[in-house]
Amino acid sequence: MRVLNLGSMNVDYVYSVPHIIIPGETLATGGRNTFAGGKGLNQSIAMAKAGLPVYHAGITGNGGEMLVETLQQNHVDTSLIQTYDGPVGHTVIQVDKNGQNCILLFGGGNQCLTKEFIDETLSQFGSEDVLVLQNEVNLMPYIIDSAAEKGLKIVLNPSPFREEILQWNLKHIGVFFINEIEGAQIAGTQAPEEILKWFAAEYPDAVVVLTLGSEGSQCLAQGKVYTQKIYPAKAVDTTAAGDTFSGFFLAQWLAGKTIPECLDLAARASSITVSREGAAGSIPTIDEVLKSQQN
C-alpha cells in the first residue's frame, strides 16, 4: 500500500501579533518568519513522520524550491511534483500571543492542476493505494471521480470550505477529516453530535473524524462514536495542529490500530505540534510521540 497526497504546497509568511487584526486597524508585528506549509505538504510530512510511504503530487511555482526540499528532507517522495513559471502558493498568517491564528491563502501553482496532470499521476496508483485530498487545489470533483474509478481509497479534508463541496460526489469518500466549523457548514447544524448524526445518515460507510479544538475530537466509525480529549500544551502556534492530527490518525488507522488508539496518538502528536513555531517544522516524529506516552 502506498499513500498519494495530491495536495497543496505553500510558503507561509507568519507574523507575530498581540491580537488578530480587526477591520480598519493598523498593527505593528513582533516579527516575521517564513516556513514551508500548505495543508497538503503538512499532511504529507505528518504521514511520513508517522511511518507511512508517502508520494506528494502537485504543482509549485517560482520560489517553491524550499517546499520540495522540505518534503524530501522528511522522506516524502517528490517525483510527482511539477513546476510552472508563475507565483508559488503562499499564505499570510497572523499568530497571536495565545498561539491562535488566522490565515489568508493565495493559491498560486496549487490552482494550476490540469486533467492531463491528474490522469498521469493517478495512472501510477491502483486499488491497493490511498489518495489523500484537501480543498486547496483545483479540479477536485474530477480528482475524486477519477480516483474512485481506479478503486483508490479516498481521504478528504474539505478545507477551506466552499459551497461547491456540497455538489461533489462525496459518496466516494472513505474517510473525512473535518473541524467543527467545516462540519457545521456541511451538515447545517452546530452541535457535534448532530453533525455526526448527519454524516451517519448521508455517508454511513465512511469514517468521520471531527476535531473540536480545546474540546478534543470525536470519530464516527461503523455507527459508533468515539471521544478523545486533548493533551494540554502551551500553545505557541496552532497552524499545523489539524494536519498533524489527521496525518497521525490515518497512519495508525491504515496500520490496523483501533479507533481509540488512533485518536489517542493523533491527540498526542498535535499537542506537540502546537507547542512549536511554524507548520511543517513543528510536526513531531513517531518516536517523539511514542516517548510522550511514557511520560
The CATH number of residue 174's host domain is 3.40.1190.20
pLDDT at residue number 206: 98
Residue scoring higher pLDDT (295 or 141): 141
Contact yes or no for 233/282 (Cβ under 8 A) = no
Residue with cell 470525536: 218
Residue 66 maps to a domain: yes
Residue 98 maps to a domain: no
Cell numbers linked to 33: 518568519
pLDDT at residue number 98: 87
For residue 66, report the phi and psi dihedrals to the nearest 5 degrees: -65, -30
Residue 16 maps to a domain: no
**Type and span of the H or E element at 195:** helix 192-202
For 150, other C-beta atoms within 10 Å of its C-beta total: 13
**Rg (the chain; Cα; Å):** 18
Mean predicted confidence (pLDDT) in 19-46 = 94
Contact yes or no for 59/110 (Cβ under 8 A) = yes
Kindly report the pTM of this predicted structure.
Answer: 0.92
pLDDT at residue number 290: 92
Residue 26 maps to a domain: no
pLDDT at residue number 65: 96
pLDDT at residue number 179: 94
DSSP string covering 8-70: --EEEEEEE-SS---TT-----SEEEEEEE-HHHHHHHHHHHTT--EEEEEEEEET-HHHHHH
Mean predicted confidence (pLDDT) in 132-146 = 97
- pLDDT tens digit sequence for 239-274: 789 999 999 999 999 999 999 999 999 999 999 999
pLDDT at residue number 275: 92
Cell numbers linked to 91: 499564505
CA pair distance 44, 74, nearest whole angstrom: 9
Task: List the beta bridge partners of residue 248.
Answer: none
pLDDT band at 280 (very low <50, low <70, confident <90, very high): confident
Residue 31 maps to a domain: no
Residue 96 has pLDDT above 80, yes or no: yes
| 3-class secondary-structure state, position 123 | coil
CA pair distance 239, 242, nearest whole angstrom: 8
Is omega for the bond preceding 160 within 30 degrees of 0, making it cis? yes
| DSSP letter assigned to residue 284 | P
**Type and span of the H or E element at 103:** strand 101-106
Task: List the beta bridge partners of residue 142.
Answer: none
Residue 207 has pLDDT above 80, yes or no: yes
CA pair distance 282, 130, nearest whole angstrom: 25
How many domains does the chain divide into? 1
Residue scoring higher pLDDT (3 or 237): 3
Mean predicted confidence (pLDDT) in 119-142 = 97
pLDDT at residue number 278: 76
Residue 93 maps to a domain: no
pLDDT at residue number 294: 76
Residue 29 maps to a domain: no
Residue 30 maps to a domain: no
**Residue 237: half-sphere exposure toward Cβ, Cα within 13 Å:** 24
pLDDT at residue number 198: 97
pLDDT band at 174 (very low <50, low <70, confident <90, very high): very high
pLDDT at residue number 99: 84
Q: Could you list the residue range(s) of the whole structural domain that residue 253 is in?
A: 3-9+38-88+108-293
